[in-house]
Structure 1
Amino acid sequence: MAAPGPNGADLRWSGKHKHHGGNVQVIATPDGWPIWVSPVRPGREHDTTCARHHGLIDALNRIAAELNMPTLVDLGYENAGDGFRHPRKKPAGGELTEAQQTYNKVIRGIHGVCERANSLLKTTFKALRRVSLDPSRITKIAAAALVLLQLEYDRTI
């Protein structure tokens, strides 16, 4: 379903994936278990834009400051704040130090486990793979999938 934005571009078209779609943010436990899914946002929106829209950036930065509990993220959240930990980018025309390379290995290793949350939702519920429904229905399907997954594995919070 096309959704023209202010400049006429289709908000649901993802240039990255070359398909219409939506962006659903997922929060997971450190062992890769999904505990929250956001309402769907247009597919062309960047992850940080979606997270900011849902109040996640401020909330997770506050949690990190108050509880000393940072959030592990991918490079899509670069510059989101001090409460986020992501791999270091290689500087233009330079190389990462050995310490930065080690840091990246640790972060990516832990982050890989957390990506399991997305995988669990998409592989368990085929309805979340290639969805072309109204965005409000996608939101309901994602929320229902989260609840069903938690009940199936007795992992309710």
Structure 2
Amino acid sequence: MNVQVIARQDGTPLWFSRAAPGRTHDLTTARAHGIIEACLTRQILILADRAYRGAGATVRTPYYHHREQPTHYQQFNRDHARLRAPGERAIAQLNTWRLPQRARHSTRRTNRTIQAIHTLLTCSYSR
């Protein structure tokens, strides 16, 4: 299952996409939901993993395929990982429920589960 997540800088999940089959590439899913285009038109910086390489001008991915990376590449990758950590935390909050991980049914049923989890997470943040 492939679910896109948009999170605040503090790791609070703002939005979970509809579930796509797991075989769907991350960048394809992000484009299908309009995330890349919306952020590009609004000039919002996206910090993403290597799967989003080539997505556009506002998407930043870490450097790779360098056996001995220059020091500035290594520093960029460390900073990138540190800034991406809250977004990864938002994904981890979804995964702690285990229901989406073990889903072996249609994406429509999974979407309802994800919506319910997002509602519960939102309620817990509003306290």
State TM-score, norm by structure 1.
Answer: 0.75
Aligned pair partner of 1:100 in 73, 81, 106 = 73
Per-residue CA deviation, residues 28-50 of structure 1 (Å, 9 max, x unaligned), is 11111111011111111110000
Distance 2:3 2:71 in 1: 35
Aligned to 1:36, what secondary structure does the other structure show?
strand
Q: Which runs of 4+ in 1 moved over 2 A?
A: none
Per-residue CA deviation, residues 76-120 of structure 1 (Å, 9 max, x unaligned), is 1000001111111134xx532211110110001111222000111
Conserved in 1, the CA contact under 8 Å of 2:7 and 2:86?
no
Instruction: Give the unaligned 5+ runs of structure 1.
Output: 1-21
RMSD (Å) for aligned C-alpha atoms: 1.5
Aligned pair partner of 1:132 in 99, 104, 111 = 104
The structure with the largest alpha-carbon Rg is: 1
Deviation at 1:153, TM superposition (A): 2.3
Q: Which residue is 2:19 aligned to?
A: 40
Q: Which moved more, 1:125-134 or 1:78-87?
A: 125-134
Q: Does 1:51 find its partner at 2:30? A: yes
Identity of aligned residues (%): 35
Q: Which amino acid in 2 is paired with 1:80? A: A
Deviation at 1:133, TM superposition (A): 2.0
Q: Which has the higher helix share?
A: 2
Distance 1:131 1:97 in 2: 42
Q: Which amino acid in 2 is paired with 1:96? A: Q
Q: Which amino acid in 1 is paired with 2:76? A: Y
Instruction: Give the unaligned 5+ runs of structure 2.
Output: none
Conserved in 2, the CA contact under 8 Å of 1:63 and 1:83?
no
Conserved in 2, the CA contact under 8 Å of 1:63 and 1:70?
no
Q: Does 1:77 find its partner at 2:52? A: yes
Conserved in 2, the CA contact under 8 Å of 1:38 and 1:54?
yes
Conserved in 1, the CA contact under 8 Å of 2:94 and 2:117?
yes
